[in-house]
């Protein structure tokens, strides 16, 4: 781990990969994006994942080091290659992904080292995609079970293509304190779990009552977000931005929400900040733009309003 041990430890648990755009590629993977952004937002972002023993894996490790992110918990797989995703942009606001199968992050292994790390975490963010293979799915849930009772466990649902299952989703909801999903994912869960999505407040209350979730966050792109927590509804308006590409914007939102909740911010202020952070990332190319200075300026601006 890095030497910033006084900062809140925020773990991105799951996939780390290359987003491949035509003739270039950029580091990506939702949990890795969250850890990267958490690091920029004043936390100790740490990636727990697995890469191949190959050139692409080495390049990802080098990238993490360049961004002052620990590589101590990135496992090296001698059998499966580093993950890649092909991203197409016929519509800048709706990227299409081809997620290649049987890659290193599908085979994350739980061990004593991860168990010790999880005990120290103030927050852990995980999703659905990295649970597509039993190896990583079981390891992820062993990691979650190893966290302390006050750890902020965030399930950023992030459904991708066919890579989800009702059982995995229900198990993940039951493990989470905060659930974040977008409007499209609300519709999918509505069908999977047989919950009406006509009234989002009733939908959120169902997740809270049945699965023990503390807070439900529904993102709505340029329209902002809705948060249901503490028996209240918070409706946070969006702020318009010129979208360069939307890859990683939702992950930046998640990291910002986590970081400000860990700092003790209220839901409304934290969500307003998260919206603005997500918009900033959407205005830049790629999932991991370097925006540390801009985030700090924005944080001070929102605190002072």
How far is 127 from 156, CA to CA, in rounded Å? Answer: 5
25 lies in some domain? yes
4 lies in some domain? no
- pLDDT for the residue numbered 4: 44
1 lies in some domain? no
CATH of the domain at 28: 3.40.1190.20
CA-based Rg of the chain, rounded to a whole angstrom?
18
Place of tokens 């659905």: 128
How far is 282 from 118, CA to CA, in rounded Å? Answer: 30
- pLDDT for the residue numbered 179: 98
DSSP 221: G
pTM over 0.75? The answer is: yes
122 lies in some domain? yes
2 lies in some domain? no
- pLDDT for the residue numbered 3: 43
- Dig out the tokens for 79 from the structure: 């059998």
Cβ(128)–Cβ(13) under 8 Å? no
Q: What is the mean pLDDT of each run of 10 residues along the chain (305 residues)?
A: 70 94 86 93 96 98 91 98 87 78 98 98 98 98 98 96 96 98 96 94 96 96 91 90 83 96 96 93 84 93 89
Q: How many domains does the chain have?
A: 1
- pLDDT for the residue numbered 92: 67
220 lies in some domain? yes
DSSP 193-237: HT---SSHHHHHHHHHHHH--SEEEEE-GGG-EEEEETTEEEEE-
Domain span at residue 190 reads 9-300
Tally Cβ neighbours within 10 Å of residue 253: 28
305 lies in some domain? no
98 lies in some domain? yes
């Amino acid at each position: 781990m890095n030497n910033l041990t006084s900062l809140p430890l925020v773990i991105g648990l799951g996939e780390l990969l290359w987003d491949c755009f035509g003739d270039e590629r950029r580091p990506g993977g939702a949990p890795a994006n969250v850890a990267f952004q958490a690091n920029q937002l004043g936390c100790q972002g740490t990636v727990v994942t697995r890469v191949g023993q190959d050139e692409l894996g080495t390049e990802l490790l080098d990238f993490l080091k360049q961004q002052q992110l620990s590589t101590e918990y990135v496992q090296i797989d001698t059998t499966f290659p580093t993950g890649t995703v092909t991203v197409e942009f016929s519509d800048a606001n709706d990227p299409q992904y081809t997620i290649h199968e049987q890659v290193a992050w599908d085979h994350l292994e739980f061990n004593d080292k991860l168990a010790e790390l999880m005990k120290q975490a103030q927050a852990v963010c995980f999703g659905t995609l990295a649970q597509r293979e039993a190896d990583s799915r079981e390891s992820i849930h062993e990691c979650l079970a190893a966290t302390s009772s006050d750890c902020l466990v965030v399930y950023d649902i992030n459904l991708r293509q066919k890579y989800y299952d009702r059982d995995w989703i229900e198990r993940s909801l039951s493990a989470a304190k905060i659930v974040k999903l977008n409007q499209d994912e609300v519709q999918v869960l509505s069908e999977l779990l047989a919950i009406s999505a006509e009234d989002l407040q009733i939908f959120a209350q169902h997740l809270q009552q049945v699965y023990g979730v503390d807070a439900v966050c529904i993102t709505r792109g340029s329209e902002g977000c809705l948060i249901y927590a503490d028996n209240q509804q918070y409706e946070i308006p969006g702020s318009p931005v010129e979208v360069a590409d939307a890859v990683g914007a939702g992950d930046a939102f998640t990291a910002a929400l986590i970081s400000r909740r860990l700092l003790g911010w209220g839901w409304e202020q934290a969500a307003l900040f998260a919206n603005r952070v997500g918009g900033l990332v959407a205005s830049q190319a790629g999932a991991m733009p370097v925006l540390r200075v801009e985030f700090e300026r924005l944080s001070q601006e929102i605190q002072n309003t």
